[in-house]
C-alpha cells in the first residue's frame, strides 16, 4: 500500500512533463516475475522507437527509472498523435500499477500492424548495413554506360545490400557501368521515391550520401508515427503518407488502391491528423482562406480588376446574398471583404476540381481533385497550401461506391457530368489518417526511404 501511495503522489504532484520529457517515478519496478516473459521484448521495442538507451545502467533502480521514463514518453506520444481523448500518461501508468496490469499495458503499447513489424525488421537490417560505406560519388557522377572506375564495384555492392539483393559472383567486383548497374540504380531510385533516371543525379547523390544514423533516425521516427493509428483499422479507411506523396485506400489493413497525391509545401505543411468523412461534394465551390485572399487573390485583383470575375469568383454575404462585381473596386475591396466572402463557382478554374471529400473537423484541410493534374507528373509534390490533392479521384470514388445501389452510382455519375454542386453520401463512415512516415516497408519487405520534406525528422 505504501508503494502505491508513493507512486500516486509522484505521478500526481506538480506537472511531471519537464522540458526534456516526463519524469520517472522511481518507485515503479519492472524486473518482476510477472513481467519476466515480456520485458526483454518490450525493452527492444522502446529501443527501436529511440526512447530507451540499451545501457548498461548503474543499478537496477536506474534501469527501472529509464524504462518508466520511456513508457511515459511513449504514452504521451500516442496521446499527442491521436489528438487526446485518453487519460494522461501518468494516470494510465498509475492505473496499470495499481491494478497489477503492467503486462496488459505493455501488450497494448505494441502495435499489431504488419507494416510496423516489417519496419522494425528493416531497422535491424539497416543497423547491419550501416557499416557498409558508400564510396565518394563525385568521381562517379559523370560516368555513363561502358565507362569504368574502381569505386563502381563498391557502389554496386552497397546498392545491392540496401535493396536486399544478392549479386551474382560475376558482378560483385565488376567496376564497369553496365546495364545491370543501371537497372540496380533505377531500382534503388524507385524504391526510395526518386525519379528512376538511372543516373547519379543530385537527388540520388544526396540520398546515397545520407549517413546511416540519418536513415536510422528516419526509420525510428516513422515507427513512432504508427502510434497515430488506432489499435486496429476496421472497414474502409484512407491513409495519406505525406512525404511519400501517396494515398492508400484500405479495407481493414489490406491495401486496395494506391494513388499519387500533392501535399502542402514546406511553407504550408499538411498537418498530421485523424479524421473521417461520410460524404463527398461533387463540383464543389471554393471559399479560399483569408491568407490566400489577402496574399494572392487581392494583389492580382488590384493589378487587373477583371481577373477574379473571369475566374468565377463571386461575393457572398449573409443569407447567400450576392454583391455584383460592379459595386466592387480596388479602392473599396477591403471594406467589402469585411461584409462578404469570396467564393469561386464550380468549373475548370476551381482548384478543388470535380470532387471534395468532406473531412470532419478538418481545420480547413481537405482531400480533393485538382484543376491542374499535370503537377502529378512531378516527383517532388509538396506544392499545395496544405490540402491534399488526389490523383485518379474517379478510381477512389468507384471503389467506395462499389457496394452502393445502382441508383446511387448513377446519381454520382450524372452529377459529375454537370456543374451544379451536389453532396452525396458514400455509404459507411470512412476514416482518414494523414501521417508522416518517410520510411515505409511494403509487403515486398523492401525499405522505401524518402526525403524528410518538412524537416520533421531532423527537427
Calculate mean pLDDT across residues 166-190.
95
368 is catalytic: yes
Which of 396, 424, 413 has its CA nearest to residue 281?
424
Query: Does residue 145 contact residue 177 with C-beta atoms inside 8 Å?
Result: yes
Q: Which residues contact 212 (CB under 8 A, 6 or more apart)?
A: 126, 129, 130, 131
Q: Which three cell numbers stand for residue 254?
A: 489490406
Residue 438 pLDDT > 50, yes or no? yes
Query: Does residue 260 contact residue 391 with C-beta atoms inside 8 Å?
Result: yes
Structure confidence by residue, pLDDT tens digits, 144-164: 999 999 999 999 999 998 888
Distances (CA, A) of 416 to 112, 130, 142, 287, 318: 40, 52, 50, 20, 28
Query: Does residue 285 contact residue 346 with C-beta atoms inside 8 Å?
Result: yes
Which of 87, 79, 86, 434 has its CA nearest to residue 274?
434
pLDDT of residue 191: 83
The whole-angstrom separation of Cα 247 and Cα 429 is 17
Query: Does residue 72 contact residue 93 with C-beta atoms inside 8 Å?
Result: yes
Looking at the chain, the domain(s) classified CATH 1.10.101 span 128-209
Task: Work out the percent of the chain whose per-residue pLDDT is above 70.
Answer: 94
Calculate mean pLDDT across residues 45-58.
94
Which of 393, 382, 428, 387 has its CA nearest to residue 281?
393
- 41 or 126, which is more confident? 41
Q: What is the largest CA-CA distance in the chain?
A: 81
Calculate mean pLDDT across residues 388-414.
87
pLDDT of residue 292: 92
The whole-angstrom separation of Cα 192 and Cα 257 is 19
Structure confidence by residue, pLDDT tens digits, 246-298: 999 999 889 999 999 999 999 999 999 999 999 999 999 999 999 899 999 99
419 is catalytic: no
Query: Does residue 135 contact residue 123 with C-beta atoms inside 8 Å?
Result: no
Evaluated on CA atoms 455, 435, 186, 173, the torsion sign reads positive
pLDDT of residue 27: 59
CATH topology assigned to domain 128-209: Muramoyl-pentapeptide Carboxypeptidase; domain 1 (1.10.101)
Evaluated on CA atoms 8, 12, 18, 22, the torsion sign reads positive
- Among the listed residues 149, 387, 419, 448, the single catalytic one is 387
- Containing H/E element for 347? none
- Among the listed residues 149, 309, 368, 385, the single catalytic one is 368
Minimum mean pLDDT among 129-138, 151-160, 162-171, 227-236: which range? Answer: 129-138
If one looks up domain 232-284+351-440 in CATH, what number appears? Answer: 2.40.440.10
Minimum mean pLDDT among 224-228, 251-255, 310-314: which range? Answer: 251-255
Which of 95, 102, 135, 125 has its CA nearest to residue 30?
102
Query: Does residue 436 contact residue 454 with C-beta atoms inside 8 Å?
Result: yes
Query: Does residue 230 contact residue 239 with C-beta atoms inside 8 Å?
Result: no
Highest mean pLDDT among 25-39, 239-253, 438-452: 239-253
Looking at the chain, the domain(s) classified CATH 2.40.440.10 span 232-284+351-440
Amino acid at each position: 500500500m505504501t508503494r502505491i501511495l508513493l507512486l500516486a503522489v509522484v505521478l500526481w504532484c506538480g506537472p511531471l512533463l519537464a522540458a526534456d520529457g516526463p519524469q520517472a517515478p522511481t518507485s515503479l519496478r519492472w524486473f518482476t516475475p510477472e513481467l519476466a516473459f515480456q520485458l526483454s521484448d518490450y525493452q527492444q521495442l522502446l529501443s527501436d522507437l529511440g526512447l530507451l538507451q540499451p545501457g548498461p545502467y548503474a543499478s537496477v533502480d536506474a534501469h527501472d527509472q529509464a524504462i518508466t521514463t520511456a513508457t511515459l514518453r511513449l504514452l504521451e506520444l500516442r496521446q499527442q498523435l491521436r489528438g487526446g481523448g485518453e487519460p494522461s500518461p501518468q494516470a494510465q501508468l498509475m492505473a496499470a500499477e495499481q491494478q497489477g496490469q503492467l503486462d496488459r499495458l505493455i501488450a497494448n503499447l505494441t502495435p499489431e500492424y504488419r507494416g510496423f513489424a516489417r519496419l522494425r525488421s528493416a531497422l535491424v537490417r539497416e543497423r547491419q548495413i550501416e557499416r557498409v560505406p558508400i564510396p565518394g560519388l563525385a568521381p562517379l557522377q559523370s560516368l555513363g554506360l561502358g565507362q569504368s572506375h574502381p569505386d563502381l564495384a563498391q557502389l554496386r555492392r552497397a546498392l545491392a545490400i540496401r535493396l536486399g539483393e544478392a549479386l551474382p559472383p560475376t558482378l560483385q567486383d565488376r567496376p564497369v557501368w553496365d546495364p545491370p548497374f543501371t537497372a540496380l540504380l533505377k531500382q534503388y531510385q524507385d524504391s526510395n521515391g526518386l525519379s528512376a533516371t538511372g543516373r547519379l543525379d543530385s537527388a540520388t547523390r544526396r540520398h546515397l550520401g545520407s549517413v546511416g544514423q540519418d536513415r536510422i533516425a528516419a526509420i525510428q521516427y516513422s515507427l513512432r508515427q504508427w502510434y497515430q493509428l488506432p489499435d486496429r483499422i476496421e472497414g474502409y479507411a484512407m491513409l495519406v503518407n505525406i512525404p511519400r506523396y501517396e494515398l492508400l485506400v484500405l479495407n481493414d489493413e489490406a491495401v486496395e488502391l494506391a494513388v499519387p497525391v500533392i501535399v502542402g509545401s514546406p511553407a504550408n505543411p499538411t498537418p498530421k491528423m485523424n479524421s473521417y468523412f461520410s460524404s463527398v461534394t461533387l463540383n464543389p465551390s471554393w471559399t479560399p482562406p483569408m491568407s490566400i485572399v489577402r496574399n494572392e487573390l487581392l494583389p492580382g485583383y488590384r493589378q487587373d480588376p477583371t481577373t477574379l470575375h473571369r475566374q468565377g469568383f463571386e461575393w457572398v454575404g449573409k443569407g447567400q446574398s450576392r454583391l455584383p462585381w460592379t459595386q466592387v473596386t480596388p479602392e473599396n475591396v477591403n471594406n467589402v471583404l469585411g461584409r462578404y466572402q469570396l467564393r469561386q463557382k464550380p468549373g475548370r478554374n476551381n482548384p478543388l476540381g470535380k470532387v471534395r471529400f468532406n473531412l470532419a473537423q478538418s481545420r480547413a484541410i481537405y482531400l480533393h481533385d485538382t484543376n491542374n493534374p499535370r503537377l502529378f507528373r512531378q516527383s517532388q509534390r509538396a506544392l499545395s497550401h496544405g490540402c491534399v490533392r488526389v490523383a485518379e479521384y474517379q478510381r477512389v470514388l468507384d471503389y467506395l461506391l462499389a457496394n452502393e445501389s445502382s441508383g446511387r452510382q448513377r446519381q454520382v455519375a450524372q452529377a459529375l457530368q454537370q456543374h451544379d454542386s451536389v453532396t452525396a453520401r458514400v455509404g459507411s463512415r470512412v476514416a482518414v489518417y494523414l501521417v508522416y512516415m518517410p520510411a515505409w516497408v511494403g509487403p515486398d519487405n523492401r525499405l522505401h526511404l524518402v526525403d524528410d520534406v518538412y524537416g520533421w525528422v531532423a527537427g
